[in-house]
A = this chain, B = another copy of it.
């Protein structure tokens, strides 16, 4: 959180242990100072200070001598990826454990005693999440939600907070925002449940569109996962922008395998929240291991993701239902200096057609995406024209 604050301001919320949040309860706070195993020959392995994945997250403290057979009950490794340390948690069952490379596990002697040491603490404390809120002209808001519970892995999940922070900094530059923007940094699942417990009712009222930002740092093609509503504003904007972006992309339906969209889209909320990713969780072998590291992500890739999300917001800002101010028939564009004076058969009809098309469909019932898709072209092409028409009072936003 402190590092994110170097990029954007964050308002921090602490939710105390024991507080009920919907069906859940905020658990004890887990803190850990050190952890390792001393082998019978005195070698120190699985050092927390070398790689924090070596300890099963939420392990209770332990300091004892165990046999090899006792030890391996508490060891996690991946035989298929012998050089990877897996990422394992045990949030809701009291336990302790170590994670290590399978090659290390194979090298351990079966005789002698091992000293397992975890200097951790599980006691009442709090769950922490941070928000950045950028007010706009409207109370209607756009949400970007990312999680920060295991940032020592790179694509999933350091890339999410980084992209979200830089996106917030970029959006903050536009002082003329129609929408308000909210950026959430919270632990996955329980963090978002706690956030929804306090803010969900307000989101039900004001959320126009939201996105879960995760797995956004590698160079895989864009994957957009729809909200449970399937055709909400977040989905229509994402799919329209991707379609005319020139990029390769994949659209996926909502499914419960995933991240915090599960909470936002749960039946009690059913919020318009989708997720734009690069290579999604579980689709790359390094996922949830120590091999999901800096080699997998890059700043250019994260910059591309920021730019794609920026296009989403650019479209959100102009994608309204417009309504002609005229009582009937098309306007006389010539007297407004908006039409070529002479009907030469060789002028550029395509430009005039786009101009007249926008007016012909400004019926108060079609939004800009629908209007642009009638001509199979990007709604962003209409940005300047909309400014001029609003200024000349040829159209107005429909209520």
Contacts and interface: CB of A to CB of B under 8 A. Distances in A.
Nearest to A366: B267
A22 B359 CA distance: 15
A197 B90 CA distance: 66
11 contacts: A22-B329, A92-B334, A95-B342, A193-B329, A197-B329, A253-B374, A267-B324, A267-B363, A268-B327, A268-B329, A287-B345
A327, A330, A361: residue with the most chain B Cβ atoms closer than 10 Å: A330
A23 B326 CA distance: 7
A291 interface: no
Contacts of A282: 349
A87, A266, A282: residue with the most chain B Cβ atoms closer than 10 Å: A266
Give the copy number.
3
A42 interface: no
Contacts of A265: 360
B349 A267 contact: no
A102 to B, nearest CB: 13
Given A88-B343, A341-B90, A342-B93, A266 B357 contact: no
Given A93-B341, A288-B345, A360-B256, A332 B270 contact: no
Contact of A90 (B21, B326, B342, B362): B342
Contacts of A246: none
Given A334-B92, A341-B90, A360 B326 contact: no
Contacts of A361: 228, 267
A367 to B, nearest CB: 14
A200 interface: yes
Contacts of A90: 341-342
Contacts of A363: 267, 270
A376 to B, nearest CB: 10
A344 interface: yes
Given A345-B288, A353-B257, A23 B196 contact: no
A191 to B, nearest CB: 11
A217 interface: no
Contacts of A326: 22-23, 266-268
A278 interface: no
A164 interface: no
Contacts of A270: 363
Contacts of A287: 345
Given A23-B329, A93-B334, A362 B267 contact: yes
